[in-house]
Amino acid sequence: MARWGRWQSFWFGIFGMLLGGIMVYQVITRTPHPVTWPVTAVVKKLDPSVVVVLNNQLSGSREKTRGMGSGVVVDRQGDIVTNYHVVAGAHSVWVVLSNGMRYKARIIGEDPATDLAVIRIKAPHLIPVSFASSNKIEPGQLVVAIGNSLGLTHTVTAGIISAKDRVMYRDGWEYHLIQTDAAINPGNSGGPLVNTSGQLIGINSSKISQAGIEGIGFAIPSTTVRYVVNQILRYGHVRRPWIGALLQPGGPSAPGLLVVAVTPNGPAARAGIHPGDWLTQIGGVKVRQVHEVTRVLETTEPGRVVKVALLRGPQPMTLLLKLGELPATPQNQAS
């Protein structure tokens, strides 16, 4: 009996240890895992792709840095996208990488209409940013901005997308922008706005700087950035379609846009469009405002043929118009 009692105590001890282990395991597995703040990982991934862009101008016989902005590496060949206003008027442009190395850059092309420019450096081991489609973003989505805010390099701010298609007008250009409440300050221009996967959804461009206004910054959508970069790398500039006609809204009861003037031997003239015609459709889209024509043309390459619908007096007409390329110094044109 004594022997059995000893074995009984032993087995009870083993059972107790197993039961205790099971209870500890249950407690551990039910403990919630800490939530990982995604911004830290985004910054580590993206930081090598963000650069400082210096705008140097002549002061007497010497160069001095007159402006500083940001840029984003887009390929391993050394191409960097930044804002046009960051490099505008520069005598020379210099790039400083995240490792502190400094390189002289060459301007490949500029596009004031979108406030974008592409510059190029010769540097080893560059890490390009990955793109995401800005068409898929939603208000409320978490975003991260990185740039050289007020000269403080690689400053990180976070916020949300406030709106995804704000139309702004500046210097006669129409801009379609992402609005964000992530802090955007001087020096952030040309830097990336990214999602929580570290993918580019926009290039930071501007903010509203007025007393009492906070949290309203803007970025150029990545779909625009990708298109402009590809155009500049291929042609050295952005090829935009041109119809060669001056258009004017005719009021609420007008059938479309009034053709005020036609450029001699331009695309509209060659298609048979006359001053006094009413343009009612282009590319199958009804138009009553000039910006509606512009939106159709934005997705169409020069050289493409589009169908236009007109009213000439009471007579409806359909013509085929071969789009030209917007001249460098266009005259008598709306788009």
Q: What is the 3-state secondary structure (H, E, C) of 8-67?
A: HHHHHHHHHHHHHHHHHHHHHHHCCCCCCCHHHHHHHHHHHHEEEEEEEEEECCEEEEEE
The one catalytic residue in 49, 149, 189, 222 is 189
pLDDT band at 14 (very low <50, low <70, confident <90, very high): low
DSSP-assigned states of every residue in 84-136: HHHHTT-SEEEEE-TTS-EEEEEEEEEETTTTEEEEE---SS--PPPB--GGG
Distances (CA, A) of 28 to 24, 25, 174, 287: 6, 5, 57, 64
CA dist 143 and 128 (Å) reads 19
pLDDT at 241 > cutoff 70: yes
Mean pLDDT on 176-204: 91
The one catalytic residue in 49, 79, 85, 205 is 85
∠ CA 131-221-168 to the nearest 5 degrees? Answer: 170
Phi, psi of 222 (to 5 degrees): -65, -30
Class of domain 241-325: mainly beta
Of 93, 43, 40, 39, the closest CA to residue 66 belongs to 93
Of 219, 282, 220, the closest CA to residue 247 belongs to 282
Which of the pair, 329 or 328, is modelled with greater confidence? 328
pLDDT band at 332 (very low <50, low <70, confident <90, very high): very low
pLDDT of residue 333: 41
pLDDT of residue 178: 93
Which of the pair, 217 or 263, is modelled with greater confidence? 263
pLDDT of residue 200: 97
Q: What is the pTM of this model?
A: 0.77
**42-120 and 241-325 share one fold:** no
- In terms of phi and psi (left: phi > 0; alpha: psi -120 to 50; beta: otherwise), the region of 284 is left
Q: Tokens in use for 99?
A: 């490792």
The one catalytic residue in 49, 115, 205, 277 is 115
3-class DSSP state for residue 81? strand
**Domain range summary for the chain, segments of one domain joined by +:** 42-120, 134-235, 241-325
115 in active site:
yes
CA dist 43 and 47 (Å) reads 5
pLDDT of residue 72: 97
pLDDT at 315 > cutoff 90: yes
Q: Which of 4-18, 151-165, 257-271 has the lowest mean pLDDT?
A: 4-18
- Work out the mean pLDDT of the chain and round it to a whole number: 86
Q: Tokens in use for 216?
A: 């309203």
pLDDT of residue 299: 75
pLDDT at 4 > cutoff 60: no
DSSP-assigned states of every residue in 138-184: -TT-EEEEEEEETTEEEEEEEEEEEEEEEEEEETTEEEEEEEE-S--
pLDDT at 212 > cutoff 70: no
Q: Are 323 and 267 contacting, i.e. CB atoms less than 8 angstroms apart?
A: yes
Mean pLDDT on 241-261: 92
For 16-67, the pLDDT digits (tens) are 666 666 665 665 555 555 556 789 999 999 999 999 999 999 988 888 998 9
3-class DSSP state for residue 191? coil
Distance of CA 167 to the CA centre of its chain: 14
85 in active site:
yes
Q: Are 115 and 130 contacting, i.e. CB atoms less than 8 angstroms apart?
A: no
For 98-132, the pLDDT digits (tens) are 999 999 999 999 998 889 999 999 999 999 999 99
3-class DSSP state for residue 187? coil
Mean pLDDT on 272-283: 95
Give the H/E segment covering residue 217. Answer: strand 217-221
Q: Are 115 and 142 contacting, i.e. CB atoms less than 8 angstroms apart?
A: no
CATH topology classification for 42-120 = Thrombin, subunit H (2.40.10)
pLDDT at 331 > cutoff 50: no
CATH topology classification for 134-235 = Thrombin, subunit H (2.40.10)
Q: What is the DSSP letter of 319?
A: E
